Amino acid sequence: MSRIVIHEVGLRDGLQMEARVVPTETKLRWLERLVASGVDIVQVGSFVHPTKVPQMADTDALFPQVPRGKALLSALVLNEKGLERGEKCGVDLYCMGVSASETHSRKNTGMGVADATARIIAMAKQALAAGKEVQVSVQSAFGCGFEGHVPPENALRIARAFVEAGLRSLSLADTAGHAVPGQVESLFGAVLALAPGLEATAHFHDTYGLGIANCYAALRAGVTALESSVSGLGGCPFTAVAGGNVCTEDLVHALQRGGVRPDIALAPIVAVAREVASYFGRDMPGKIYRTGPIGAPEGGGGAHP
């Protein structure tokens, strides 16, 4: 567990829920600090229609301006148009996915699961052929805010289609926040058993307070990458009960307490979390941005716990 990949998704999955649009220059300041923290991947935004998600309207303009550092810069793409836009502005890693819930799939993309799966596989192959990294995900893998229980086979069917298409970087997303640790270990174990050499990423929402517990369950199952959001921002706007993501600074602090990823500096992440709370004028779900990490001066951000 010494090298768990941390994928910061706050400026996409976090901000997409916010009605107050963050100016480009503010996003750039936050992105610069997040990249400087030493997290492995930073999600800049998504290529969606600006009238549907105004918060993402400047994604194309952001990419060329973000200081690269050592972090990969990722983006969410939903369709071929988004892929074309990403190719023009320098995306390192494309994230694209299919919902295991028929209802969520139609609300999120306007397509049924089968059509969405075929479309995403074709897009993923196109991006790989262009020399880009691709992560394909199964959304609502552990439950659906509309349908409730999602049978594990629904998620496995999509994951199996990805693997059979030659895709090796897979994510399971708990879009509705319904997952519990035992379920997480079981489903990730089944996915990783589909083929040798798969890379697995976990994306949990903390809607019902089990986000970090589920992260540890995913690690026990063999997951090597975790997605999280600075200050705990976010949630899916196309689910019945939206809850924030696992909080990046809280997750990193927890990992570092166990001796994992001491190379990530908490101070820049905490600074962004505090600015996020100030900008939106409310307390955020995260804890460490308020308390400071253990071992730091009271209320301090601290580089390490």
**Number of structural domains the chain divides into:** 1
Q: Is residue 214 part of a domain?
A: yes
DSSP 81-136: HHHHHHHHHT-SEEEEEEESSHHHHHHHHSS-HHHHHHHHHHHHHHHHHTT-EEEE
CA atoms within 13 A of residue 216's CA, in its CB half-sphere: 10
On whether residue 252 sits in a domain, the answer given is yes
What is residue 298's DSSP assignment? T
The confidence score (pLDDT) of residue 147 equals 87
For the domain that residue 140 is a member of, what is the CATH number?
3.20.20.70
Residue whose tokens read 């993923």: 124
- The answer to whether residue 301 is domain-embedded is no
pLDDT of the residue at 243:
62
> What does the DSSP 8-state code read for residue 247?
B
Q: Find out whether 226 and 246 touch, Cβ atoms under 8 Å.
A: yes
- Can you list the alpha helix ranges (DSSP code H) found in the chain? 24-36, 59-62, 80-89, 102-109, 113-129, 152-164, 181-192, 211-221, 248-257, 266-280, 288-291
Active site residue 95: no
Closest of 72, 124, 73 to residue 97, by C-alpha: 124
**299 located within any domain:** no
- pLDDT for res 242: 54
**Residue 131 is assigned to a structural domain of this protein:** yes
User: Among 95, 144, 236, 247, which one carries the catalytic annotation?
Assistant: 236
In this structure, are residues 192 and 222 in contact, taking their beta carbons and an 8 Å threshold?
A: yes
**Confidence (pLDDT) at 299:** 44
- The number of beta carbons lying within 10 Å of the beta carbon of residue 155 is 24
Read off the tokens for 187: 């489903």
In a domain, 218, yes or no: yes
Domain membership flag for residue 300: no
Cβ pair 40, 5 in contact under 8 A: yes
Instruction: For Cα atoms 21, 275, 27, give the angle at the middle one, nearest 5 degrees.
Output: 45
By C-alpha distance, which of 280, 293, 178 is closest to 234? 280
Q: Are 191 and 153 in contact (CB under 8 A)?
A: no
Q: Which two tokens stand for residue 304?
A: 């390490």
Structure-token pair, residue 101: 């819930």
93 is in which domain, residue-wise? 5-291
pLDDT in tens, the chain (305 residues): 668 999 999 999 999 889 899 999 999 999 999 999 999 999 999 999 888 899 999 999 999 999 888 999 999 999 999 999 999 999 999 999 999 998 888 887 888 999 999 999 999 999 999 999 999 999 999 999 888 899 999 999 999 999 999 999 999 999 999 999 999 999 999 999 999 999 999 999 999 999 999 999 999 999 999 999 999 998 555 544 456 899 999 999 999 999 999 999 999 999 999 999 999 999 999 999 999 999 865 444 444 33
Residue 68 maps to a domain:
yes
Cβ–Cβ < 8 Å for 237, 16: yes
Strand pairing report for 169-174 and 72-77: unpaired
Q: What pLDDT, on a 0 to 100 scale, did the predictor assign at position 104? A: 84
Distance from chain centroid for Cα 151? 23
